[in-house]
Amino acid sequence: MMIKGKTASEGYAVGKAIRLEKETIRAEKQGCDSIEACLKAFREALEKSREEIKTIQKQAEDRLGSEQAEIFGAHLEMLDDPEIRKQVEAMIENDQVTAAYAYQTITDQYIQMFEQMEDEYFRGRAADIKDIQQRVLAHLLGKEVKDLSLLEEDTIVVAKDLTPSDTAGLDLDKVKGFITESGGRTSHTAIIARALGLPAIVGANGALEAIEDNQRVFLNASDNEIVVDPGKKTLERARSLVREQEKERERLKAYADRKTKTMNGKGIPLYANIGSDKELDPVLENGAEGVGLFRTEFLFMDQPAMPDEERQIQAYERVFEKLSPVIVRTLDIGGDKDLPYLEQPKEANPFLGRRAIRLTLEEESLFQTQLRALLRAARNQRDVRIMFPMVATEKELDAALEALERARRSLDEEGYEYQTNIKVGIMIEIPAAALNARRLAEKVHFFSIGTNDLIQYLFAADRMNESVAYLYQPLDTTLLRLIKHVVDEAHAEQTEVGVCGEIAGDLDAALLLAGIGVDELSMSPASILRIREALARIDSTDLERLSDAVLAEHSPQTAKEIVQAFRRKHLEG
């Protein structure tokens, strides 16, 4: 039997399945006989939950390291969110219902809000709130709180979703891979899997029904396949792939401390995409030469209220102190990403509406606070760069540069130290900006091509919509020719060009982008060493000939065949 899903962390694994099914705790609507008693029960449940989360945080720190354990710091903040607490207590008092029903009702509203967002990262936060909700309800309703521990060796964990508490309780030395029915590449499961180097498939609908405990499973996360009870030949092939995978990992470790260069010495730095300082461990372990995309909106989403200037400075400094260069994208909110504390009108087509730079230019206080925080946090760092997202016109870029200048003036007036020599760039993710690259390049130090949105807008194809997935082709030569146009126009103005979209971490696309002349690539840390090794074995002139051959074609399939033939000749011979 074969099940399909979405790869969250590439690789192969063979093991016996263990199904993690937990009863969802729900509270019935009941009246509260004593308001004081219900309020007391609520506060005691919060305190018990707080102590348990602290214990789990310590377990996670021992097993996963301090960076990954910090997710439970965010859990503690969610648990103690004053707005949620205020709303629950008000419902207990005004509606005279039990603490369990009030807490369930209020937290359900937050869970629903996050689940409705299209961005995978923010949908993943719904699972965090559910995790906390279930823990508090268990205490209020007298249910046992179970935290999973010892598992058998060579185990594949199958679950609806894995919460942070689930993962902290697992004996991760004995887990070989994860399968979940829900979640995406930025869910907690995916983040942990990549941090641990474990293969994982998410969005595997029906996995819990199709897989039984102790059934042998071949998890092929490189090809989005799950084989249940594989036959002898399939099992032999699976074990062979696992052995080759281990050999490859050992071999690639030799590249962790190297600079990325082609065989003839042309440098093409490989950077990492991150959402917070919590993701730095795999970035450093895989030898990233910097951060090519620091998504700052996650800092704003993980807070119950708008983070002030000092809070932002602390978060930025934790990244700036570890790596250089760091390219920081200013707040990219809107579309499918909302801030609960920022009032935004509902839009019929939010991806084409008030988002990213369009929003921050209107929210002057929010934008100024972030720009000031970035300038101050970078005061002692040698290479921090600020990048504006979703720029479509020169007018928008001019307004953003003026906002940055206002931030500088305000810091001068208040006597703060800040970075006076910071580089400024923009995301190229709107076709209009790509076509006007020369004019925009005159005003900035660098471009970073966000291919996820550029493909979406170029082909008018929602990347989350399976019915138009055939249009979402990273190796489409129309896209590649547009990228080549951007590179040529930017280089004419001595402006650097990087790529920070998903295709940068795809080996086929990375080879083409290097041949087109992109100056740097930014990707998931897990992709870095494989691409670094490949580039080290190829002459840059061969990469240029490869890109010329592909750009002369018109079919994505033909382009893929040309790249695969090139790989067989240069990397597999």
Per-residue DSSP letter, 569:
H
Active-site hit among 75, 188, 445, 485: 188
Q: Which residues, other chains included, contact 523 with Cβ-Cβ below 8 Å and sequence gap of 6+?
A: 270, 271, 272, 273, 292, 500, 502, 504, 505, 510, 531
For each successive 10 residues of the chain (573 residues), what is the average pLDDT? Answer: 82 90 83 92 93 78 62 82 91 94 93 75 75 90 63 80 66 82 68 74 88 92 90 93 90 93 96 85 91 88 77 93 95 68 67 84 93 96 93 97 97 96 96 97 97 89 67 86 98 97 88 97 90 96 97 91 94 78
Q: What is the pLDDT of residues 509-554, one digit of tens each?
A: 999 999 999 999 998 888 899 999 999 999 999 999 999 999 999 8
At residue 191, the pLDDT reads: 64
At residue 62, the pLDDT reads: 67
| Sign of the torsion angle spanned by Cα atoms 407, 400, 450, 483 | negative
ω into 340 cis (within 30 of 0): no
Least Cα distance to 252 among 530, 542, 573 occurs for 530
Q: Are strands 12-20 and 291-295 parallel, antiparallel or unpaired?
A: unpaired
The three-state DSSP-derived secondary structure of 338-371 is: CCCCCCCCCCCCHHHCCCCHHHHHHCHHHHHHHH
Q: What is the pLDDT of residues 422-442, one digit of tens each?
A: 999 999 999 999 999 999 999
Total residues found in the chain within this entry: 573
Count CB-CB contacts under 10 A for residue 294: 29
At residue 391, the pLDDT reads: 96
Q: Give the Cα separation of 130 and 163 in Å (integer).
A: 8
At residue 126, the pLDDT reads: 81
Q: Among the residues of 415-527, which ranges form H helices? A: 431-435, 437-441, 451-458, 477-492, 507-516
At residue 150, the pLDDT reads: 47
Active-site hit among 38, 491, 500, 570: 500
Copy the structure tokens of residue 505. Answer: 């971490």
At residue 6, the pLDDT reads: 82
Q: Give the Cα separation of 199 and 222 in Å (integer).
A: 8
Has 500 been annotated as catalytic?
A: yes
* Domains detected in the chain: 2-22+148-252 (3.50.30.10), 35-141 (1.10.274.10), 264-570 (3.20.20.60)
Burial class (CB in 10 A: 0-12, 13-18, 19+), 82: exposed
Has 485 been annotated as catalytic?
A: no
Return the SS3 of 378. coil
Specify whether the CB–CB gap between 217 and 17 falls below 8 A: yes
Q: Please give the full DSSP string across 109-157, using - where no structure is assigned.
A: HHHHHHHT-SSHHHHHHHHHHHHHHHHHHHHHHT----------SSEEE
At residue 69, the pLDDT reads: 66
Per-residue DSSP letter, 267:
B
Q: Give the Cα separation of 520 and 513 in Å (integer).
A: 9
| H/E element, 302 | none
Copy the structure tokens of residue 88. Answer: 């629950």
